[in-house]
Amino acid sequence: MFETLELGRKLKRKDFNAAVLTLREQLLALQFQLEKANFPVIIIVSGVEGAGKGSVVHRLNEWMDPRLIETHAFWDHSDEEEQRPYLWRFWRALPANGRIGIFFGSWYTRPIINAASGAITEAQLNVEMQRVEDLERMLCADGALVIKLWFHLPADIARERLQADQLRELTRIELPENSTEQFEQGYANLVRVSELAIRATDTGPSPWHLVEATDDNYRELSAGQVVQQRLAARLAEPPPAPNVMAPVAPTNGKQPTVLDKVPLDAALETDDYKQQLAHYQQRLETLAWQARREKLACVAVFEGWDAAGKGSAIRRVTQSIDPRLYHLLQYAAPTDEEASHHYLWRFWRQLGRDGKFTFFDRSWYGRVLVERVEGFAADHEWQRAYSEINRFEEQLVDHGSVLLKFWLHISQEEQLARFQLREQTPHKQHKITEEDWRNRDKWHDYELAVHDMVAHTSTARTPWTLVAGNNKRYARIEILKAFCDALESRLG
Protein backbone atom coordinates (compact mmCIF):
# COMPACT_ATOMS: atom_id res chain seq x y z
CA MET A 1 0.00 0.00 0.00
CA PHE A 2 2.53 2.61 1.14
CA GLU A 3 5.03 1.90 -1.62
CA THR A 4 2.85 4.06 -3.89
CA LEU A 5 3.58 6.96 -1.53
CA GLU A 6 7.37 6.70 -1.77
CA LEU A 7 7.86 7.96 -5.34
CA GLY A 8 9.48 11.28 -4.45
CA ARG A 9 6.77 13.49 -5.93
CA LYS A 10 7.61 17.20 -5.79
CA LEU A 11 5.97 20.46 -6.81
CA LYS A 12 7.82 23.66 -7.63
CA ARG A 13 6.94 26.68 -5.53
CA LYS A 14 5.73 28.74 -8.47
CA ASP A 15 3.44 25.93 -9.62
CA PHE A 16 2.16 25.53 -6.08
CA ASN A 17 1.38 29.25 -5.76
CA ALA A 18 -0.45 29.31 -9.09
CA ALA A 19 -2.56 26.27 -8.22
CA VAL A 20 -3.40 27.62 -4.76
CA LEU A 21 -4.93 30.80 -6.20
CA THR A 22 -7.60 28.77 -7.98
CA LEU A 23 -7.96 26.25 -5.14
CA ARG A 24 -8.60 28.90 -2.47
CA GLU A 25 -11.32 30.50 -4.58
CA GLN A 26 -12.98 27.14 -5.10
CA LEU A 27 -12.76 26.16 -1.44
CA LEU A 28 -14.25 29.42 -0.22
CA ALA A 29 -17.14 29.20 -2.70
CA LEU A 30 -17.87 25.63 -1.63
CA GLN A 31 -17.63 26.56 2.05
CA PHE A 32 -20.26 29.27 1.66
CA GLN A 33 -22.52 26.78 -0.15
CA LEU A 34 -21.97 24.33 2.69
CA GLU A 35 -23.11 26.93 5.21
CA LYS A 36 -26.62 26.64 3.75
CA ALA A 37 -26.52 22.85 3.41
CA ASN A 38 -28.00 20.32 5.80
CA PHE A 39 -24.91 18.25 6.55
CA PRO A 40 -21.56 18.63 8.36
CA VAL A 41 -18.04 17.90 7.10
CA ILE A 42 -15.48 16.02 9.19
CA ILE A 43 -11.88 16.14 7.96
CA ILE A 44 -9.61 13.60 9.66
CA VAL A 45 -5.91 14.45 9.46
CA SER A 46 -3.84 11.37 10.30
CA GLY A 47 -0.51 9.79 9.47
CA VAL A 48 2.98 9.33 10.82
CA GLU A 49 4.68 11.92 12.96
CA GLY A 50 6.90 14.32 11.05
CA ALA A 51 4.70 14.14 7.94
CA GLY A 52 3.55 17.76 8.23
CA LYS A 53 0.01 17.20 9.43
CA GLY A 54 0.08 20.39 11.50
CA SER A 55 1.12 22.38 8.44
CA VAL A 56 -1.82 20.93 6.49
CA VAL A 57 -4.22 21.95 9.25
CA HIS A 58 -2.83 25.51 9.14
CA ARG A 59 -3.23 25.61 5.35
CA LEU A 60 -6.86 24.48 5.43
CA ASN A 61 -7.67 27.19 7.95
CA GLU A 62 -5.78 29.71 5.81
CA TRP A 63 -7.46 28.75 2.53
CA MET A 64 -10.99 28.73 3.96
CA ASP A 65 -12.95 30.97 6.31
CA PRO A 66 -11.86 29.88 9.82
CA ARG A 67 -15.08 31.25 11.31
CA LEU A 68 -16.89 28.24 9.82
CA ILE A 69 -14.23 25.72 10.85
CA GLU A 70 -13.74 24.06 14.21
CA THR A 71 -10.27 22.56 14.63
CA HIS A 72 -9.73 19.96 17.36
CA ALA A 73 -6.30 18.57 18.20
CA PHE A 74 -6.62 15.21 19.95
CA TRP A 75 -3.53 13.96 21.70
CA ASP A 76 -3.20 13.22 25.42
CA HIS A 77 -6.40 12.22 27.17
CA SER A 78 -7.47 14.29 30.14
CA ASP A 79 -8.76 12.59 33.29
CA GLU A 80 -12.21 13.88 32.33
CA GLU A 81 -11.99 12.00 29.03
CA GLU A 82 -10.55 8.86 30.56
CA GLN A 83 -13.56 8.65 32.88
CA ARG A 84 -15.98 8.33 29.98
CA PRO A 85 -16.26 5.96 27.00
CA TYR A 86 -13.44 6.43 24.48
CA LEU A 87 -15.55 8.03 21.74
CA TRP A 88 -17.07 10.66 24.07
CA ARG A 89 -14.31 13.18 23.37
CA PHE A 90 -14.99 12.93 19.63
CA TRP A 91 -18.78 12.99 19.80
CA ARG A 92 -18.84 16.25 21.71
CA ALA A 93 -16.55 17.81 19.06
CA LEU A 94 -18.67 16.83 16.05
CA PRO A 95 -19.53 19.87 13.89
CA ALA A 96 -23.09 21.02 13.28
CA ASN A 97 -24.73 21.00 9.87
CA GLY A 98 -23.17 23.55 7.54
CA ARG A 99 -19.82 23.58 9.36
CA ILE A 100 -16.45 21.88 8.98
CA GLY A 101 -14.68 20.07 11.79
CA ILE A 102 -10.97 19.30 11.39
CA PHE A 103 -9.84 16.45 13.64
CA PHE A 104 -6.06 16.64 14.04
CA GLY A 105 -5.65 13.18 15.44
CA SER A 106 -8.84 11.16 15.77
CA TRP A 107 -10.45 7.93 16.87
CA TYR A 108 -7.65 6.12 14.98
CA THR A 109 -4.73 7.43 17.02
CA ARG A 110 -4.93 5.49 20.28
CA PRO A 111 -5.80 2.06 18.78
CA ILE A 112 -2.95 2.28 16.27
CA ILE A 113 -0.40 3.35 18.88
CA ASN A 114 -1.59 0.66 21.30
CA ALA A 115 -1.30 -2.03 18.61
CA ALA A 116 2.14 -0.82 17.51
CA SER A 117 3.39 -0.90 21.10
CA GLY A 118 1.92 -4.33 21.83
CA ALA A 119 -0.57 -2.98 24.38
CA ILE A 120 -3.34 -4.62 22.34
CA THR A 121 -3.26 -7.53 19.88
CA GLU A 122 -4.04 -7.30 16.18
CA ALA A 123 -7.33 -9.06 16.89
CA GLN A 124 -8.19 -6.34 19.39
CA LEU A 125 -7.16 -3.71 16.84
CA ASN A 126 -9.62 -5.25 14.39
CA VAL A 127 -12.37 -4.95 17.00
CA GLU A 128 -11.50 -1.28 17.56
CA MET A 129 -11.46 -0.62 13.81
CA GLN A 130 -14.85 -2.29 13.42
CA ARG A 131 -16.19 0.11 16.04
CA VAL A 132 -14.65 3.03 14.14
CA GLU A 133 -16.12 1.83 10.86
CA ASP A 134 -19.54 1.52 12.51
CA LEU A 135 -19.25 5.09 13.79
CA GLU A 136 -18.27 6.48 10.39
CA ARG A 137 -21.02 4.58 8.59
CA MET A 138 -23.54 5.89 11.09
CA LEU A 139 -22.39 9.49 10.64
CA CYS A 140 -22.43 9.14 6.86
CA ALA A 141 -25.88 7.55 6.90
CA ASP A 142 -27.08 10.58 8.83
CA GLY A 143 -25.68 12.84 6.11
CA ALA A 144 -22.16 13.75 7.26
CA LEU A 145 -19.30 13.98 4.77
CA VAL A 146 -16.23 12.29 6.26
CA ILE A 147 -12.92 13.07 4.49
CA LYS A 148 -9.97 11.01 5.74
CA LEU A 149 -6.40 12.06 4.92
CA TRP A 150 -3.37 9.88 5.70
CA PHE A 151 0.12 11.36 5.29
CA HIS A 152 3.04 8.98 4.81
CA LEU A 153 6.83 9.28 4.90
CA PRO A 154 9.47 6.73 3.80
CA ALA A 155 11.53 5.37 6.68
CA ASP A 156 14.70 7.23 5.75
CA ILE A 157 12.90 10.59 5.59
CA ALA A 158 11.07 9.83 8.82
CA ARG A 159 14.38 9.15 10.53
CA GLU A 160 15.68 12.53 9.43
CA ARG A 161 12.62 14.29 10.85
CA LEU A 162 11.98 12.22 13.95
CA GLN A 163 14.20 11.87 16.97
CA ALA A 164 14.46 8.50 18.67
CA ASP A 165 12.57 9.75 21.70
CA GLN A 166 9.63 10.76 19.48
CA LEU A 167 9.37 7.26 18.05
CA ARG A 168 9.73 5.79 21.54
CA GLU A 169 6.76 7.90 22.61
CA LEU A 170 4.74 6.80 19.60
CA THR A 171 5.46 3.09 19.79
CA ARG A 172 6.60 2.73 23.42
CA ILE A 173 9.52 0.64 22.11
CA GLU A 174 12.88 1.13 23.81
CA LEU A 175 15.33 2.40 21.19
CA PRO A 176 19.01 3.20 21.68
CA GLU A 177 19.84 6.81 20.95
CA ASN A 178 21.35 6.30 17.49
CA SER A 179 20.18 2.85 16.48
CA THR A 180 19.25 2.96 12.80
CA GLU A 181 18.27 -0.70 12.80
CA GLN A 182 15.94 -0.48 15.77
CA PHE A 183 14.48 2.80 14.54
CA GLU A 184 13.61 1.18 11.22
CA GLN A 185 12.21 -1.84 13.05
CA GLY A 186 9.94 0.27 15.23
CA TYR A 187 8.90 2.47 12.33
CA ALA A 188 8.18 -0.52 10.09
CA ASN A 189 5.94 -1.97 12.80
CA LEU A 190 4.07 1.31 13.15
CA VAL A 191 3.56 1.46 9.37
CA ARG A 192 2.40 -2.16 9.27
CA VAL A 193 -0.19 -1.59 11.98
CA SER A 194 -1.33 1.61 10.27
CA GLU A 195 -1.88 -0.31 7.04
CA LEU A 196 -4.04 -2.86 8.88
CA ALA A 197 -6.15 -0.04 10.32
CA ILE A 198 -6.51 1.70 6.96
CA ARG A 199 -7.51 -1.46 5.12
CA ALA A 200 -10.12 -2.26 7.78
CA THR A 201 -11.75 1.17 7.47
CA ASP A 202 -11.33 2.08 3.79
CA THR A 203 -15.03 1.98 2.97
CA GLY A 204 -17.26 3.43 0.29
CA PRO A 205 -18.95 6.02 2.52
CA SER A 206 -15.65 7.20 4.04
CA PRO A 207 -12.62 6.14 1.97
CA TRP A 208 -9.04 6.96 2.86
CA HIS A 209 -7.03 9.41 0.78
CA LEU A 210 -3.32 8.57 1.01
CA VAL A 211 -0.93 11.48 0.49
CA GLU A 212 2.82 11.36 -0.07
CA ALA A 213 4.23 13.82 2.44
CA THR A 214 7.91 14.13 1.52
CA ASP A 215 7.50 17.46 -0.32
CA ASP A 216 5.64 20.23 1.53
CA ASN A 217 4.13 21.81 -1.60
CA TYR A 218 2.90 18.52 -3.02
CA ARG A 219 1.48 17.40 0.34
CA GLU A 220 -0.49 20.56 1.07
CA LEU A 221 -1.86 21.06 -2.43
CA SER A 222 -2.90 17.39 -2.63
CA ALA A 223 -4.73 17.63 0.67
CA GLY A 224 -6.55 20.80 -0.37
CA GLN A 225 -7.55 19.27 -3.71
CA VAL A 226 -9.00 16.19 -2.00
CA VAL A 227 -11.14 18.40 0.26
CA GLN A 228 -12.25 20.51 -2.71
CA GLN A 229 -13.18 17.48 -4.85
CA ARG A 230 -15.06 15.61 -2.12
CA LEU A 231 -16.96 18.70 -1.01
CA ALA A 232 -17.84 19.73 -4.58
CA ALA A 233 -19.10 16.25 -5.38
CA ARG A 234 -21.24 16.13 -2.26
CA LEU A 235 -22.77 19.58 -2.79
CA ALA A 236 -23.61 18.60 -6.39
CA GLU A 237 -25.76 15.71 -5.17
CA PRO A 238 -29.51 16.36 -5.08
CA PRO A 239 -30.85 17.00 -1.57
CA PRO A 240 -32.54 14.04 0.12
CA ALA A 241 -36.30 13.81 -0.13
CA PRO A 242 -38.15 15.22 2.88
CA ASN A 243 -39.45 12.82 5.49
CA VAL A 244 -42.95 11.68 4.64
CA MET A 245 -45.03 9.75 7.13
CA ALA A 246 -45.79 6.37 5.60
CA PRO A 247 -49.44 5.33 5.82
CA VAL A 248 -50.10 2.94 8.67
CA ALA A 249 -51.03 -0.48 7.39
CA PRO A 250 -54.50 -1.56 8.53
CA THR A 251 -54.60 -4.25 11.17
CA ASN A 252 -57.30 -6.70 12.07
CA GLY A 253 -57.84 -5.80 15.68
CA LYS A 254 -55.20 -5.37 18.38
CA GLN A 255 -51.93 -7.19 17.82
CA PRO A 256 -50.35 -8.84 20.87
CA THR A 257 -47.20 -7.20 22.24
CA VAL A 258 -44.66 -7.82 24.97
CA LEU A 259 -46.52 -5.27 27.11
CA ASP A 260 -49.45 -7.69 27.40
CA LYS A 261 -47.36 -9.81 29.78
CA VAL A 262 -46.67 -6.99 32.26
CA PRO A 263 -48.68 -7.80 35.45
CA LEU A 264 -50.56 -4.51 35.81
CA ASP A 265 -52.52 -5.84 38.80
CA ALA A 266 -49.33 -6.00 40.89
CA ALA A 267 -49.66 -3.76 43.93
CA LEU A 268 -48.09 -2.89 47.27
CA GLU A 269 -49.90 -1.78 50.41
CA THR A 270 -48.89 1.50 52.01
CA ASP A 271 -47.30 0.09 55.18
CA ASP A 272 -45.30 -2.51 53.24
CA TYR A 273 -44.29 0.18 50.75
CA LYS A 274 -42.96 2.50 53.44
CA GLN A 275 -40.93 -0.27 55.01
CA GLN A 276 -39.39 -1.38 51.69
CA LEU A 277 -38.81 2.20 50.57
CA ALA A 278 -36.69 2.94 53.63
CA HIS A 279 -34.81 -0.34 53.22
CA TYR A 280 -33.92 0.06 49.54
CA GLN A 281 -33.16 3.76 49.75
CA GLN A 282 -30.70 3.07 52.56
CA ARG A 283 -29.07 0.31 50.51
CA LEU A 284 -28.87 2.54 47.46
CA GLU A 285 -27.30 5.38 49.45
CA THR A 286 -24.51 3.05 50.59
CA LEU A 287 -24.03 1.64 47.09
CA ALA A 288 -23.88 5.10 45.52
CA TRP A 289 -20.96 6.10 47.73
CA GLN A 290 -19.25 2.79 47.08
CA ALA A 291 -19.69 3.36 43.33
CA ARG A 292 -18.13 6.78 43.80
CA ARG A 293 -15.10 5.31 45.57
CA GLU A 294 -14.66 2.60 42.93
CA LYS A 295 -15.22 4.97 39.98
CA LEU A 296 -18.24 3.05 38.71
CA ALA A 297 -20.57 5.04 36.44
CA CYS A 298 -24.29 4.33 36.29
CA VAL A 299 -26.55 5.36 33.41
CA ALA A 300 -30.31 4.97 33.84
CA VAL A 301 -32.95 5.44 31.14
CA PHE A 302 -36.59 6.08 32.02
CA GLU A 303 -39.22 5.71 29.31
CA GLY A 304 -42.94 5.10 29.57
CA TRP A 305 -46.43 6.34 28.86
CA ASP A 306 -47.47 9.89 29.64
CA ALA A 307 -48.47 10.01 33.33
CA ALA A 308 -46.85 6.61 33.97
CA GLY A 309 -45.00 7.99 37.00
CA LYS A 310 -41.48 8.38 35.65
CA GLY A 311 -40.84 11.62 37.52
CA SER A 312 -42.02 10.35 40.89
CA ALA A 313 -40.08 7.12 40.46
CA ILE A 314 -36.90 9.04 39.62
CA ARG A 315 -37.39 11.19 42.73
CA ARG A 316 -37.50 8.09 44.96
CA VAL A 317 -34.17 7.03 43.46
CA THR A 318 -32.46 10.43 43.68
CA GLN A 319 -33.63 10.90 47.28
CA SER A 320 -31.18 8.13 48.12
CA ILE A 321 -28.19 9.70 46.39
CA ASP A 322 -26.13 12.72 47.36
CA PRO A 323 -26.89 15.50 44.82
CA ARG A 324 -23.18 15.76 44.06
CA LEU A 325 -23.22 12.21 42.71
CA TYR A 326 -25.93 12.44 40.04
CA HIS A 327 -27.14 14.45 37.08
CA LEU A 328 -30.78 14.35 35.97
CA LEU A 329 -31.52 15.17 32.33
CA GLN A 330 -35.02 15.66 30.97
CA TYR A 331 -35.56 15.66 27.22
CA ALA A 332 -38.26 16.94 24.94
CA ALA A 333 -38.10 17.95 21.27
CA PRO A 334 -34.53 18.75 20.15
CA THR A 335 -33.39 22.37 20.04
CA ASP A 336 -32.13 23.89 16.78
CA GLU A 337 -28.55 23.18 17.86
CA GLU A 338 -29.36 19.58 18.73
CA ALA A 339 -31.30 19.05 15.51
CA SER A 340 -28.25 20.16 13.50
CA HIS A 341 -26.26 17.16 14.83
CA HIS A 342 -26.72 13.41 14.78
CA TYR A 343 -29.59 12.51 17.13
CA LEU A 344 -27.22 10.71 19.54
CA TRP A 345 -25.00 13.79 19.93
CA ARG A 346 -27.12 15.43 22.61
CA PHE A 347 -26.98 12.27 24.73
CA TRP A 348 -23.31 11.40 24.22
CA ARG A 349 -22.18 14.81 25.34
CA GLN A 350 -24.10 14.56 28.64
CA LEU A 351 -22.59 11.30 29.87
CA GLY A 352 -21.28 11.66 33.40
CA ARG A 353 -17.83 10.80 34.71
CA ASP A 354 -16.94 7.53 36.37
CA GLY A 355 -18.38 7.40 39.86
CA LYS A 356 -21.44 9.46 38.88
CA PHE A 357 -25.07 8.60 38.11
CA THR A 358 -26.70 10.00 34.97
CA PHE A 359 -30.50 9.79 34.76
CA PHE A 360 -32.24 10.25 31.40
CA ASP A 361 -35.93 11.15 31.68
CA ARG A 362 -36.72 10.35 28.03
CA SER A 363 -33.73 9.36 25.96
CA TRP A 364 -32.30 8.25 22.64
CA TYR A 365 -35.25 5.86 22.38
CA GLY A 366 -37.35 8.77 21.21
CA ARG A 367 -35.97 7.96 17.75
CA VAL A 368 -37.81 4.62 17.65
CA LEU A 369 -40.85 5.75 19.64
CA VAL A 370 -42.26 9.26 19.20
CA GLU A 371 -40.19 10.05 16.09
CA ARG A 372 -41.34 6.81 14.49
CA VAL A 373 -45.00 7.07 15.42
CA GLU A 374 -45.35 10.79 14.72
CA GLY A 375 -43.40 10.63 11.45
CA PHE A 376 -40.54 12.90 12.53
CA ALA A 377 -38.06 10.25 11.33
CA ALA A 378 -38.25 8.49 7.98
CA ASP A 379 -38.62 4.72 8.00
CA HIS A 380 -34.97 4.11 7.09
CA GLU A 381 -33.87 6.47 9.88
CA TRP A 382 -35.68 4.85 12.78
CA GLN A 383 -35.12 1.33 11.42
CA ARG A 384 -31.34 1.73 11.41
CA ALA A 385 -31.49 3.38 14.85
CA TYR A 386 -31.87 0.00 16.59
CA SER A 387 -28.35 -1.08 15.64
CA GLU A 388 -27.00 2.42 16.30
CA ILE A 389 -28.48 2.40 19.79
CA ASN A 390 -27.18 -1.09 20.49
CA ARG A 391 -23.63 -0.05 19.55
CA PHE A 392 -23.91 3.08 21.69
CA GLU A 393 -25.04 1.11 24.72
CA GLU A 394 -22.39 -1.58 24.18
CA GLN A 395 -19.75 1.14 24.41
CA LEU A 396 -21.21 2.29 27.73
CA VAL A 397 -21.04 -1.25 29.09
CA ASP A 398 -17.59 -1.91 27.60
CA HIS A 399 -16.35 1.19 29.40
CA GLY A 400 -17.56 -0.36 32.63
CA SER A 401 -20.78 1.58 33.22
CA VAL A 402 -23.88 0.03 34.75
CA LEU A 403 -26.78 0.59 32.33
CA LEU A 404 -30.40 0.34 33.49
CA LYS A 405 -33.39 0.78 31.16
CA PHE A 406 -36.96 1.06 32.47
CA TRP A 407 -40.25 1.15 30.61
CA LEU A 408 -43.10 2.16 32.95
CA HIS A 409 -46.28 0.55 31.72
CA ILE A 410 -49.84 1.47 32.70
CA SER A 411 -53.25 0.69 31.28
CA GLN A 412 -55.26 3.11 29.16
CA GLU A 413 -57.85 3.32 31.94
CA GLU A 414 -55.23 4.24 34.53
CA GLN A 415 -53.75 6.87 32.24
CA LEU A 416 -57.19 8.42 31.71
CA ALA A 417 -57.77 8.60 35.47
CA ARG A 418 -54.40 10.30 35.98
CA PHE A 419 -55.03 12.77 33.15
CA GLN A 420 -58.35 13.75 34.71
CA LEU A 421 -56.72 14.14 38.12
CA ARG A 422 -54.08 16.42 36.64
CA GLU A 423 -56.75 18.63 35.11
CA GLN A 424 -58.45 18.95 38.48
CA THR A 425 -55.29 19.61 40.51
CA PRO A 426 -53.96 23.19 40.16
CA HIS A 427 -50.30 22.35 40.79
CA LYS A 428 -50.45 19.51 38.24
CA GLN A 429 -52.32 21.21 35.43
CA HIS A 430 -49.08 22.19 33.70
CA LYS A 431 -48.35 18.49 33.20
CA ILE A 432 -51.31 17.90 30.89
CA THR A 433 -51.43 19.22 27.32
CA GLU A 434 -53.49 18.76 24.20
CA GLU A 435 -50.68 16.65 22.81
CA ASP A 436 -51.05 14.21 25.71
CA TRP A 437 -54.71 13.72 24.85
CA ARG A 438 -53.94 13.38 21.14
CA ASN A 439 -51.31 10.70 21.78
CA ARG A 440 -53.95 8.50 23.41
CA ASP A 441 -55.48 8.05 19.97
CA LYS A 442 -52.25 6.37 18.86
CA TRP A 443 -51.97 4.07 21.85
CA HIS A 444 -51.70 0.86 19.83
CA ASP A 445 -49.16 2.40 17.43
CA TYR A 446 -47.01 3.19 20.44
CA GLU A 447 -47.53 -0.32 21.83
CA LEU A 448 -46.18 -1.78 18.59
CA ALA A 449 -43.25 0.64 18.66
CA VAL A 450 -42.42 -0.37 22.24
CA HIS A 451 -42.67 -4.05 21.29
CA ASP A 452 -40.20 -3.57 18.42
CA MET A 453 -37.93 -1.49 20.66
CA VAL A 454 -37.71 -4.27 23.23
CA ALA A 455 -37.30 -6.93 20.54
CA HIS A 456 -34.37 -5.12 18.94
CA THR A 457 -32.59 -3.51 21.90
CA SER A 458 -33.12 -5.75 24.95
CA THR A 459 -29.90 -7.75 24.99
CA ALA A 460 -28.14 -9.91 27.56
CA ARG A 461 -25.82 -6.99 28.37
CA THR A 462 -28.38 -4.17 28.05
CA PRO A 463 -31.79 -5.60 29.01
CA TRP A 464 -35.03 -3.68 29.39
CA THR A 465 -36.96 -3.81 32.67
CA LEU A 466 -40.70 -3.55 32.03
CA VAL A 467 -42.29 -2.12 35.18
CA ALA A 468 -45.95 -2.53 36.10
CA GLY A 469 -46.97 1.03 36.93
CA ASN A 470 -50.70 1.01 37.68
CA ASN A 471 -49.72 0.95 41.34
CA LYS A 472 -47.08 3.65 41.83
CA ARG A 473 -45.85 2.20 45.10
CA TYR A 474 -45.12 -1.14 43.47
CA ALA A 475 -43.34 0.50 40.50
CA ARG A 476 -41.08 2.61 42.70
CA ILE A 477 -39.93 -0.36 44.76
CA GLU A 478 -39.30 -2.46 41.65
CA ILE A 479 -37.07 0.28 40.25
CA LEU A 480 -35.18 0.76 43.51
CA LYS A 481 -34.62 -2.99 43.77
CA ALA A 482 -33.30 -3.09 40.21
CA PHE A 483 -30.81 -0.33 41.02
CA CYS A 484 -29.60 -2.08 44.17
CA ASP A 485 -29.31 -5.49 42.49
CA ALA A 486 -27.39 -4.12 39.49
CA LEU A 487 -24.96 -2.13 41.62
CA GLU A 488 -24.40 -4.92 44.12
CA SER A 489 -23.74 -7.34 41.28
CA ARG A 490 -21.00 -5.09 39.93
CA LEU A 491 -19.56 -3.87 43.23
CA GLY A 492 -19.62 -7.21 45.00
For residue 246, the model assigns a pLDDT of 54
The arithmetic mean of pLDDT across residues 223-244, rounded, is 88
Calculate the CA 92 to chain-centre distance. 8
Q: Which residue has the higher pLDDT, 204 or 273?
A: 273
d(CA 338, CA 345): 7
CATH of domain 2-236: 3.40.50.300
For residue 269, the model assigns a pLDDT of 96
For residue 245, the model assigns a pLDDT of 54
The arithmetic mean of pLDDT across residues 110-116, rounded, is 93
Burial of 53 (0-12, 13-18, 19+ CB in 10 A): buried
Task: Give the DSSP letter of residue 409.
Answer: E
d(CA 444, CA 454): 15
For residue 252, the model assigns a pLDDT of 57
DSSP codes of every residue in 66-116: GGGEEEEE--SPPHHHHTS-TTHHHHTTPPPTT-EEEEES-TTHHHHHHHH
Asked which of 30-44, 145-159, 232-246 is least confident by mean pLDDT, the reply is 232-246
Query: What residue spans define the domains of the chain?
Result: 2-236, 258-491
Q: Which residue has the higher pLDDT, 298 or 157?
A: 298
Domains 2-236 and 258-491 share a fold: yes
For residue 240, the model assigns a pLDDT of 72
- Is pLDDT above 70 for 140? yes
Alpha carbon distances (Å) from 418 to 91, 268, 331, 469: 39, 18, 21, 12
For residue 27, the model assigns a pLDDT of 97
DSSP codes of every residue in 455-489: HHH--SSS-EEEEE-SSHHHHHHHHHHHHHHHHHH
The arithmetic mean of pLDDT across residues 459-469, rounded, is 97
d(CA 458, CA 451): 10
Percent pLDDT > 90 in the chain is 78
SS3 375: coil
For residue 49, the model assigns a pLDDT of 84
Mean pLDDT (the chain) is: 91
pLDDT digits (tens, 9 = 90+) for 159-197: 887 765 555 555 444 545 556 666 777 888 889 999 999
Fold of 258-491: Rossmann fold (3.40.50)
The arithmetic mean of pLDDT across residues 408-434, rounded, is 87
Bridge partners, residue 403, by sequence: 299
∠ Cα 323 324 325 (to 5°): 90
